[in-house]
Structures are given as structure tokens and as C-alpha cells.
Amino acid sequence: MADDATSEELLCSIENGIARVTLNRPQAANAVTPDQRNKMIELFSDFSSDLNVRAVVLTANGKHFCTGADLRVSKVPENKRPEGAPERSTGDIGRNIKRGAQRLINAILDCEKPVIAAVNGTAAGIGAHMAFACDLVVAVDSAKFIEVFVRRGITPDGGGAYLLPRMVGLHKAKELVFFGDDLSASDAERIGLINKCVSAADFDATVNEWAHKLSQGPTKAIGLAKWLLNRSLDSDRGAAFDEEAWAQELASHTHDFQEGVQSFIERRETRFQGW
């Protein structure tokens, strides 16, 4: 068992094959800072190669999951500007989005381990998109999802315009983005945006059950399946079929594939190792 606080504001522990990443700024409604964001990018990258990690849970402490980026501490890299130059020039914001929010969403999508978002409360802006980038989403019934950008007079970032149409269809995505209304967890489940809406009493048990089940599975095969499913939304049938064949080829060389076949032949319980 390994259990260490990455920092006071972002906690990380690994136990029984399950990595838990916990946003820990409840006093700020878990608005994410650049330092937290960058550390999460690093963690999700590291999880891919860590054989101790077979599933990941992303959650938060307090009554909110993540209410977006903390604009009070946002950092836009600044170079020394020539005399008379404006404080902000065209391209600054776009580069900041690419280096920040988009890198975070990519880190979750590209993590080779299955990731569960355990949404304990309001998920707004990049907080909502972090949840949608996860492979499975369990939300407490009091949670809300908010495409908050229109309320600030800006467009979605952090992959929102990419993720939403693929999850709920174009017209529903436009409704969520154009109006920016609160979406309850039960409605999010109804339209297929999340997997489960559960009561507070059942929340931890449901998340733990799913995480445990994933942590006992054939980790490499699940990672390859994640890769196939994510890519299928952007590829044609020919490319998808080719990638499916190669993923099967790669999976067939893993220890867990051999174990799966042998346990079937021997009619015994399968004991996957994760490699």
C-alpha cells in the first residue's frame, strides 16, 4: 500500500491497484489552479506506466466536484514585452488553453488505465469536462453539471465542444452550451452524459465497487479497448477495423490473455495480474 499526499490541495493515494486523485480545495469550491492542473497531467501520464495502478478514481473533497478554473490564480506565461506593446496580444489566450485545459483533458483521455469520475457535487466548466473525459461517471444525486462558459460570455474550452456532441448528440450539446443551465445528475444520466446517478448513501459503495472490479480486470486489454473506443468516434470503418485487429494482436501477447484462456480450459476463477 502506498498513501501519500501529493500536496495539500491535490491528494493522491494508491491502494489495492486503485489510484485515487482528490481535489482538495473545498474552501474554493474545488476550482482548479494551474499547479493542480499541471500535477494532474503528470499523474495521469505516470499512471499509464505504473503497474501498481490498474484503475483510477478522480474525485473531490467537500460539497463540490470542481467549479471550473480558478481565475483568481490563473497564470498566463509572460515574456518581457516591448515598450508600447499591449498587456495581452492575440494568441496569448489560445496558447494558454492548449497548454493548460486541453492538455489536462488529453491526459485523462489518453491514460492507459480506466478512469472513474466520482462526482460528489457541482461540476462546472473544466470541472464538467474533466468528468466527461473519464471513462465512467458516477454522480451523487445532488450533483449538477454546468456548461458555465456562456454565462461569462466566452466559448467552451477543455474539449467541451468536442466531447459533448459525441456523448449526447449535436442538438442536445448546443442546448447545454447555448443556455448554460444547471443539469441535474438524474437528467445527465437520462441523456447518457453519465453512467449512474446514486444517492449519497450509495455513492461511495458504488464507486468502490466499480473501481475494485476494474482493478481486478485484464488491465492491458481494458486500456486497448479504451483506445479503440475513443478513436472510433473520429475514424472511418476501415481504420477502425484495422485498429481493432491490431489491438487484438497486442492483447493476445499479454499475460492476462494467457490466464484468461487457461482459466477457461481449467474451469477455474480467472486471476488477472494487469500485464
pLDDT in tens, 102-123: 999 999 999 999 999 999 999 9
pLDDT at 75: 56
Question: 137 forms bridges with which residues in the sheet?
Answer: 117
Backbone angles phi, psi at 89, to 5 degrees: -115, 165
pLDDT at 74: 56
pLDDT at 40: 98
| Domains of the chain, CATH where assigned | 2-80+90-215 (3.90.226.10), 219-266 (1.10.12)
For the range 4-7, what are the long-range contacts, defined as Cβ-Cβ under 8 Å and sequence gap of 24 or more? 6/39, 6/43, 7/35, 7/36, 7/39
Task: Extract the residue ranges of the chain whose pLDDT is less than 50.
Answer: 1-6
pLDDT at 21: 98
Task: Summarize pLDDT for 48-105 with one digit per residue, the tens.
Answer: 999 999 999 999 999 999 999 998 875 555 677 788 888 777 888 888 889 999 999 9
pLDDT at 76: 55
Backbone angles phi, psi at 55, to 5 degrees: -160, 155
pLDDT at 35: 94
pLDDT at 60: 98
Contacts of 42 (CB under 8 A, 6+ apart): none
Can you give the pTM of this predicted structure? 0.91
Query: Three cell numbers at 125?
Result: 466548466
pLDDT at 120: 98
pLDDT at 78: 63
Q: Which residue has the cell 494558454?
A: 96
pLDDT at 19: 98
